[in-house]
Amino acid sequence: MRISIFGLGYVGCVTAACLARDGHDVVGVDVNPVKVAGIAAGKSPIIERGLEDLLKTVVRQGKLRATIDARDAVLDSDISLICVGTPSNPNGSLNTRYVESVCKEIGLAIPKNPGGALSYEGLLELALDSYYDRNTHLSRPRPNRRRAA
């Protein structure tokens, strides 16, 4: 399977390397060009035993590449995984700005087809619903969105 992974921090980098090790063609996406260049050279951006050796192997095999180009990654994949940070707001609630940004990038990159692609808002709802379904102790904020009349 061709997989794009958005966010190459602790979760995304390890996930990308392991999926590539398991035979998938993986493209990692991050906004940090230094991190992208490092991963493309087989260097780990995090300290995790065995990860750098694994990155070197899967990059050398051509199973993992990294880019800052979200559109290229989406067009070159069958599925996209969102692994970006969700820091806390000052009041302790979940800050979803990075998730929202990635959903927008993915939504803009999805080719339009006769069946219709998910919109940015649809992707964001799916991502947030999935997060809150797994973290039942948190209450899901519902943003006030203006609806077209």
Tokens 């051509």 found at: 62
Note the pTM of the prediction, 2 decimals. 0.77
Q: Where are the domains of the chain?
A: 2-73, 84-134
DSSP labels for 122-141?
HHHHHHHHHHHHH-TTS---
Q: Which CATH class is domain 2-73?
A: alpha beta
Please write the tens of the pLDDT for every residue from 12-34: 999 999 999 999 999 999 999 99
Digit-coded pLDDT (tens) for 81-127: 999 988 888 988 888 889 888 888 887 887 654 444 555 555 666 66
- Which residue(s) pair with 87 in the sheet? none
Q: How far apart are CA 83 and CA 85, in angstroms?
A: 7
- Rounded Cα distance between 84 and 125, Å, is 16
